[in-house]
Structure 1
Amino acid sequence: MTSTGEVEGRAGPPLGWVRRRDVVVDVALGGASAVECGWEGVGFAAEAGIPAVLGVLFGIAVGAVLVLRRRWPIAVVLVGIGITPAVMGFLLGVVGLYTLASSEVPRRITATLTSMALAATFAVMYMQTSGDVEAGRTFVLMLSVFVAVALTVPPVLFGLYIGARRRLMESLQERADSLERELSLLADRAEERAEWARTEERTRIAREMHDVVAHRVSLMVVHAAALEAVAAKDPARAAKNAALVGDMGRQALTELREMLGVLRATAAEKPASAPASAAVAAPVALVGGFEDGPSLDELEALVGQSEAAGMAVEMVVLGKGAGYAAEVEQTAYRVVQEALTNCHKHAPGARVTVRLAHREGEVAMQVENGPCDGSSAEPGLPSGGNGLVGMRERVLGLGGVFVSGPTDEGGFKVSAVLPVR
């Protein structure tokens, strides 16, 4: 059983007083009750045939019990019921019943003590008025019932109302605290999602930079090697290779500028003091920014650039494309581009086959190179080992399938299947 002044999980303050106002109220009520019972103790002493001083002291001691109402409301009510035959303790009984009903005492105990107080008050009132013959028995009975109900039911009902209101306010406060904790948790999660989105965006940008720079620079290195080999023997071919190197460099710079332009535009649109939700939205918007990227229609030009660099490339297209989403077309293009870059790095002089298949609900691509013929030395291009990882991340990010590995003929094969929806 928990009294009004207790806090769940630990003992409450002395006598259930939480605030200074509680002390003032209880001491005032206890003093008033002691004065009332002391005054009524004079009449009790006369009827009991004891000295008036003892009656007054008894009344004061009994009335002062009201100070304990917050800590022991049941004891206070029992004392009030016990002194009912002495016709004293009006304030003690009313305030005690109110405190009992408003506290956390089980309702069955409250109902039992209320019934006892009601019966005791009725009995005392009936005995006090039954000697009045002129009033009549019926009137005495009705008067006793009225007084008993008036002295017990209103304080109990009011106490029940105050207790229910207090519990409602505590419940609302708990819900408010819980909501505040949930909002704090949501803010933390939003910050985590923002950090995750920023990490994903950095990964995507690194992938784009790798694909753009690695392919173009690989072709430039191959053309530069060819230019060095034929510069003295075939000036016309050397001039052609030099022009191709310049074109490759300009294309690489153009793609880099476009990518950096998108990043600057997005950073300018997002204020420095943007909330965590905006931090999430910005990277996601960038991840979806595929509209300006390459498409499958540019694959032939991509293969042509490798052919111009001296690679023997065959392109096979099966089926007819129906125009896919921008992210599907860009991912397919980047997979083929990176696979061709790897062929330039690791399989110089090998024959390469690029296959593109348009199927129902998906598009498949495969880049396969045969074994190196040994006539061409590797161009010595640096490799960070991120090409296959980047291709796998792109394909799996769209829910596709990616497979790569050596072939039985001694070559290497990269295959990917992307869902078109």
Structure 2
Amino acid sequence: MTLTPTQRRLLFVLGPVVLGVADTFIGAAPQSTLVRSLSVGAGLVLIARLRMPFATLLATVPGMYMGSAWLAGLIALYTLSRLRPGRLLLTVGTLLVIAANFLPYPLDLEARDPWAWAESSVATAIAAIALGRAVALRGELATRLRELTEGRAREDRLLADHVLATERAQLAREMHDVVAHQVSLISLQAGALRMSTADPASREHADTIRTLAVRTLEELRHMVGVLRAAGGGPVERRPQPRLSDLPRLIGESALDVDADIDYQECASCPEGVERAAFRIVQEALTNVRKHAPGAKVRIRLRCADRELQVEVRNAAAAPGAAPLDLPSGGHGLIGLSERVHLLGGFFSAGPDDAGGFRVSAGIPMTTG
């Protein structure tokens, strides 16, 4: 039969009381009313042992000495050892229990073997103390183990939150780089279609596409901000771009690009280094389409001194070319700088003396 928590609590509180009272009637010689009352009272007073262990022990001493409340005294001493392990109280309580068990009532030392009785009194008292301390230490160890388990669980949660935040920030950067690049291509193609066609309907459709592209970039900037601030569910990760994808990227850019890339030298680059270099070129081409349409672009990738050197330089915008009216979240170059510095490299971006713009980075090939 399974006991409920309330039943277990009642058994824990009242069980020793019943045992202490019952012990006074087991094998006890005929006793006077006073002695019987003291013995039974020593068992009943155990109900207060959890709140007042030392006072309870003192109350059991008369029943132990004059009557037959031997078990009640040991239960009180056990409770004192478990709940009040102070040296002074425990010493006083132990001496009282030993004296009450050793000294006969009425006092007559010749009526019993003093050495055997002393040995029995001391042994039972020490056993009660040892059991009380063992139970107390077991409870302390259980509490410490629970605290350690809870602490480890908190550390695991903090580590998981940190990993999630790192992945979320990386995903936000990847989303900005990839989607902004693709949407700006759509806007560029729509603008080219509008300029090259005389059909009013086609021009209207091109304007609509361009407007939708601009709106998409605005929504993207908002989503990136939300993603950096809040957690999300599991994300399906696609294969990340490598340097071998650069020809496709350059071809889709619809820009006048002079690429000087030594793919053979860069073949030994770690994946993280290749991905960072790809993102640098991608963001630079996107910025050229935004701010310097019609400008000639030069891309240079070289491996030297165990370092991948990336440089993207563009001239000033072509005369008469209007910059694309595309929103910018301001995360592109900042994200590139963070990525490169995490890999132990350097990153710089700024205008050059010829009126163009230059983006350069050096990424150690031993990282990634």
For the superposition of Structure 1 and Structure 2, which TM-score range results when normalised by the shorter chain?
0.5 to 0.7
Matched, 1:164 2:133: yes
State how far apart, in whole Å, the 2-side matches of 1:220 and 1:203 are.
24
Matched, 1:178 2:147: yes
| Contact in 2 for aligned 1:29/1:66 (Cα 8 Å) | yes
| Contact in 2 for aligned 1:77/1:93 (Cα 8 Å) | no
1:74–1:34 Cα change, 3 Å: farther
1:335 Cα deviation from its structure 2 partner: 1.6
1:343 Cα deviation from its structure 2 partner: 2.0
In the alignment of these two chains, the number of paired residues is: 318
> Residue type of the partner of 1:286?
R
Q: Map of 1:6-405 to 2, 5 A cutoff?
A: 19-20=10-11, 22-23=13-14, 25-26=16-17, 29-30=20-21, 33=24, 39-41=30-32, 56-57=33-34, 59-61=36-38, 63-69=40-46, 70=49, 71-75=51-55, 77-78=57-58, 88-89=66-67, 91-103=68-80, 104-105=83-84, 106-119=86-99, 122=102, 124=104, 128=108, 130=110, 143-150=113-120, 152-175=121-144, 177-178=146-147, 181-182=150-151, 185=154, 188-189=157-158, 192=161, 196=165, 197=167, 200-201=170-171, 203-214=173-184, 216-217=185-186, 220=189, 224=193, 227=196, 283=235, 286=237, 289-290=239-240, 293-295=241-243, 297=244, 299=246, 309=254, 311=256, 313-316=257-260, 320-372=265-317, 374=319, 376-378=320-322, 380=324, 382-385=326-329, 386-392=331-337, 394-396=339-341, 398-405=343-350
1:418 Cα deviation from its structure 2 partner: 2.0
Could you tell me which runs of 5 or more consecutive residues in structure 1 were left unpaired when the two chains were aligned.
Answer: 1-16, 42-55, 133-139, 230-278
Q: What SS does the corresponding residue of 1:402 show, helix, strand or coil?
A: strand
1:414 Cα deviation from its structure 2 partner: 1.6
Once the two structures are superposed, what CA deviation does each residue of 1:95-150 show, in whole Å capped at 9, x if it has no partner?
313421342333443334434554565554896363x8xxxxxxx6xx12212332
1:329 Cα deviation from its structure 2 partner: 1.9
Tell me the percent identity: 26
1:388–1:195 Cα change, 3 Å: same
1:415 Cα deviation from its structure 2 partner: 1.8
State how far apart, in whole Å, the 2-side matches of 1:77 and 1:317 are.
91
1:153 Cα deviation from its structure 2 partner: 2.6
329-338 vs 27-36, which deviates more? 27-36
> Residue type of the partner of 1:40?
Q
State how far apart, in whole Å, the 2-side matches of 1:341 and 1:34 are.
97
State how far apart, in whole Å, the 2-side matches of 1:412 and 1:405 are.
6
State how far apart, in whole Å, the 2-side matches of 1:222 and 1:38 are.
114
Once the two structures are superposed, what CA deviation does each residue of 1:77-109 show, in whole Å capped at 9, x if it has no partner?
54665677xx722x3244313421342333443
Q: What SS does the corresponding residue of 2:349 show, helix, strand or coil?
A: strand
State how far apart, in whole Å, the 2-side matches of 1:65 and 1:198 are.
68
Once the two structures are superposed, what CA deviation does each residue of 1:369-392 show, in whole Å capped at 9, x if it has no partner?
233452x32263524345434544
Between Structure 1 and Structure 2, whose CA radius of gyration is higher?
1
| Contact in 2 for aligned 1:211/1:334 (Cα 8 Å) | no
> Residue type of the partner of 1:404?
A
- Residue 354 of structure 2 corresponds to 409
Q: What SS does the corresponding residue of 1:377 show, helix, strand or coil?
A: coil
Q: What SS does the corresponding residue of 2:108 show, helix, strand or coil?
A: helix
1:363–1:172 Cα change, 3 Å: same
> Residue type of the partner of 1:67?
L
State how far apart, in whole Å, the 2-side matches of 1:409 and 1:219 are.
25
Could you tell me which runs of 5 or more consecutive residues in structure 2 were left unpaired when the two chains were aligned.
Answer: 1-7, 199-231
1:369–1:24 Cα change, 3 Å: closer
State how far apart, in whole Å, the 1-side matches of 2:291 and 2:168 are.
33
> Residue type of the partner of 2:133?
A
> Residue type of the partner of 1:205?
M
